[in-house]
Chains A and B, each alone.
Chain A
């Protein structure tokens, strides 16, 4: 079956702009989580959506937001981009709500965002 699909794979944006990233989970998976990965910082949890509702949120500013649609696809939005937002953004899906837990997660290949 198809894995987790993230689009686009690469993105270059200018400071101050906004960006929307997309994630299509594995068919049947209802939970979608987003992570930010920067070199040397590991994976930082952004938020988790389940049945179109945000169920858990990490420690990121309000510029980072997301939503989930009825077909479980999810989008993540970052407004007023800063240079420090340059990172690999990973999406992970799971059949269950895991309140930030990781077992059962399948990750996508990520979107690499560069802010210039």
Chain B
């Protein structure tokens, strides 16, 4: 099925480092969503973005809705061990409201 381009696929970082990941699409979206999935669990919504240019924070997480409506990024500042997991972006298409998912970014913290 149709997917967003989410990168990087995985990240190995040191505790305390900042993290950045992004998603791009050829389609215009009217909503961008960022989810986190812990092992053995379903995804949990972190941040929802509804307007082009919107910048929203949730604790150490910050996400932005790209001006072109075709991209979004998620930043995590000062990573901690519980940040490990898979982060998914999802975009809702402007034309038919179908939700399209990225393949995920796996975050691993080096001991």
Contacts and interface: CB of A to CB of B under 8 A. Distances in A.
Interface residues of B, number: 24
Contacts, number: 62
A45 interface: yes
A90 interface: yes
B98 A107 contact: no
23 contacts: A40-B103, A42-B3, A42-B102, A42-B103, A42-B104, A43-B88, A45-B1, A45-B98, A90-B42, A90-B43, A92-B42, A98-B97, A99-B96, A100-B92, A100-B98, A101-B99, A102-B35, A102-B92, A103-B48, A107-B41, A107-B42, A107-B44, A109-B41
Interface of B: 1, 3, 6, 31, 33, 35, 40-45, 48, 88, 90, 92, 96-99, 101-104
